[in-house]
Structure 1
Amino acid sequence: MLALSANGVLPKADYAIFADTGWEPRAVYQHLDRLEREIAEPAGIPILRVSSGNIRNDALDPAHRFASMPLYVLNQNGKQGMTRRQCTGEYKIKPIKKKVRELLEYPYPARIPKDVFVEQWVGISTDEFHRAKDADVKYMRNRHPLLDLSWSRADCVRYLTSLGLADTPKSSCLGCPFHGNAQWRHIRDTSPSEWADVVEFDAAIRQGNARANAAGSRLLGEAFLHRSRVPLSQAPIDHVTAAERAALRIDADEAHALENGVEDGCSPWTCRGDADALTQDDFGLAT
Structure 2
Amino acid sequence: MEVISLGAGVQSTTLFLMAGHGEIGPKPAFAVFADTGWEPKKVYRHLNWLRTKADEFGIPIIETQKSNIRDDLLAAIETDVKFADTIRFANIPFFVKNKDGTVSIMKRQCTKEYKIEQIVREIRHQLGYRPRQRVKEQVTEWIGISADEIQRIKPSRVPWITHRWPLVELGMSRGGCYSWLQRHGYPIPPKSSCIGCPFHDDRLWLEMKRDDPESWKEAVFIDYEIRKLKRFRGQVFLHRSCLPLDQVDLNENQLDLFDDGFLNECEGMCGV
| TM-score normalized by the length of structure 2 | 0.84
Aligned to 2:19: 5
Larger C-alpha radius of gyration, 1 or 2? 1
> Which of 180, 183, 186 pairs up with 1:159?
180
Equivalent AA in structure 2 for residue 185 of structure 1? L
How many residues are matched?
246
Percent pairwise identity: 37
- Change beyond 3 A, Cα 1:255–1:9: closer
How far apart are residue 86 of structure 1 and its match?
A: 0.4
Deviation larger for 142-151 or 89-98: 142-151
CA–CA distance in structure 2, aligned partners of residues 111 and 48 of structure 1: 22
In the TM superposition, 1:182-193 aligns within 5 A as 182-193=203-214
Structure 2: which amino acid aligns with 1:121? Answer: W
Among 110, 113, 122, the alignment partner of 1:99 is 122
Q: Paired residue for 1:76, among 75, 99, 106?
A: 99
Q: Shift of residue 160 of structure 1?
A: 1.0
- Give the superposition deviation at 1:261: 3.0
Q: CA 1:271–1:20 in structure 2 vs 1: closer, same or farther (change >3 Å)?
A: closer
Aligned-partner SS, 2:242 = coil
Which segments of 5 or more consecutive residues in structure 1 lack a partner in the other structure? 242-253, 273-287
**How far, CA to CA, are the matches of 1:14 and 1:52 in structure 2?**
22
Give the CA deviation at 1:270: 2.2
User: Which residue number corresponds to residue 181 of structure 1?
Assistant: 202
In the TM superposition, residue 229 of structure 1 has moved relative to its aligned partner by 0.4
Paired amino acid for 1:262: G
Q: Report the residue type matching 2:49 in the other structure.
A: R
Structure 1: distance between partners of 2:38 and 2:196: 8
Q: Deviations over 1:219-239 (max 9, x none)?
A: 222100011100001011234
Instruction: Give the root-mean-square deviation of aligned CA atoms.
Output: 2.0
Q: Find out whether 1:264 has 2:260 as its counterpart.
A: no
Cross-structure match for 2:64: 50
Q: What's the secondary structure of 2:141's corresponding residue?
A: strand
Distance 1:188 1:117, change over 3 A: same
The residue identity in structure 1 corresponding to 2:54 is: A
How far does the alpha carbon of each residue in 1:78-134 deviate from its partner, in whole angstroms, 9 at most, with x for none? Answer: 121011110000100111010011122222211123xx1211111122112232222
8 Å CA contact 2:34, 2:115 repeated in 1 = yes
CA distance in 2 between partners of 1:130 and 1:230 (Å): 29
CA distance in 1, matches of 2:130, 2:251: 48
Q: Which has the higher helix share?
A: 2
CA gap 1:265/1:19 in 2 versus in 1, 3 angstroms: farther
Task: Assess if the C-alpha contact under 8 Å between 1:5 and 1:13 holds in 2.
Answer: yes
1:170 Cα offset (Å): 0.8
2:199 aligned with 1:200: no
1:235 equivalent among 238, 248, 255: 248
- With normalisation by structure 1, the TM-score equals 0.80
Matched, 1:19 2:34: yes
Q: Which consecutive unaligned segments of at least 5 residues does structure 2 have?
A: 1-14, 80-86
**Structure 1 residue 271, shift from structure 2 partner:** 6.7
Compare relative contact order (CA 8 Å, sep 6+) and give the higher one, 1 or 2: 2
